[in-house]
Structure 1
């Protein structure tokens, strides 16, 4: 009887271990799948188009301890099913762009992919958080094909500019491991810094638009010049041949 109980416990633990391993692997595979999609876009822009909007891409898988802490904090049940349904940022990707307009271009391109299902979008650029934080957050769901099943996995995608990423990274470092209430004057200065970063983003994008306009005008002038030269090249060539006979 004791042996049967031990065998039952062992089989239960083995089954639980496999379930947890599959659980974490599914999010790892989802990250790899999304990174492949983003890398394809990045290479396409790099080799075919004149401009690549993607500066950097980072991905992370939330540690089991962080997952359990969030489950406890949110009051969810400690079950794989409950975690899978409610914790949607276990797999996370951050895309850093040059300009604000790039953020919405990349978001649109990812949403148009047939196997990417948009679940939720939070636009902290049009509506910044009270502390000044800006970014575009997408929760998407993609299929992962295992040996014996297909699973729909949530992935959180954050898309932001270099300036937004710079502010968010430093803000995190300033707050890191400080468990007390942040002094109000520091909050105010951080928010002011976020506004400054936003103004810089918009100024740089305006400068880029002006430069693109200048390039287009220059290209138009060169095209007109070529057309002008071609109009007079044929008569000149004809006269040269004629006079040589």
Structure 2
């Protein structure tokens, strides 16, 4: 994939990402006006770089082409929504699902069903409409929703285990840290009044 091909390819994904960014921001502000509270602590956005797309395709046994990237990858555009509590995550998901012009492509609830290493988060890929002069097309945007505790765990696990060299040495400890953070999170959520 040339740099020129990448820049042309990535543009509608950036447009779809901007579309979701606006939706999440509007929901958070509307929630603030009506409930006098923010469910979202902060939001992070990213578009996969050319090298990252190529590496992921190669890792999956595919040629690093624009066509295969479009066909095989649903995480080229991504948004991570960091919420205060688990109930905020499910609330935001419910609000996004009610928007009739986006479609759910796939989802994984790693909060109810954590990964074996202790990872917890909610992943949902939406097909987001992007309008061009010659029509409309849906582009996938992966939305990851986590609490602040889940994000702390995932960030540290990524830094120490996934990117580091100590994976085998500390894997069991990270499962324990995840359980401790989950318990703390549940206790704190218990302080909220409905």
TM-score, normalization by structure 2: 0.93
Corresponding residue for residue 190 of structure 1: 174
State how far apart, in whole Å, the 2-side matches of 1:92 and 1:153 are: 11
1:1-245 equivalences in 2 (<5 Å): 17=4, 20-175=6-161, 177-178=163-164, 180=165, 182-184=167-169, 186-208=170-192, 212=193
Structure 1 SS opposite 2:53: helix
Unaligned runs of 5+ in 2: none
Q: Is the 8 A contact 2:84 2:148 kept in 1?
A: yes
Residue 86 and residue 63 in structure 1: after superposition, are their counterparts in 2 closer, same or farther (change >3 A)?
same
Question: 1:181 Cα deviation (Å)?
Answer: 6.5
Question: 1:45 Cα deviation (Å)?
Answer: 1.4
**Root-mean-square deviation (Å):** 1.8
Structure with greater helix percent = 1
Unaligned runs of 5+ in 1: 1-12, 214-245
Structure 2 SS opposite 1:48: helix
Structure with greater strand percent = 2
1:178-209 deviation line (CA, Å, top 9, x unaligned): 3x57234x11111100001111111111111x
Aligned residues: 193
Q: Is the 8 A contact 2:105 2:125 kept in 1?
A: yes
Structure 2 SS opposite 1:78: coil
State how far apart, in whole Å, the 2-side matches of 1:207 and 1:181 are: 37
Structure 2 SS opposite 1:207: coil
Structure with the greater alpha carbon radius of gyration: 1
1:55-109 deviation line (CA, Å, top 9, x unaligned): 1111001111000000111112333222112111010000011111111110111
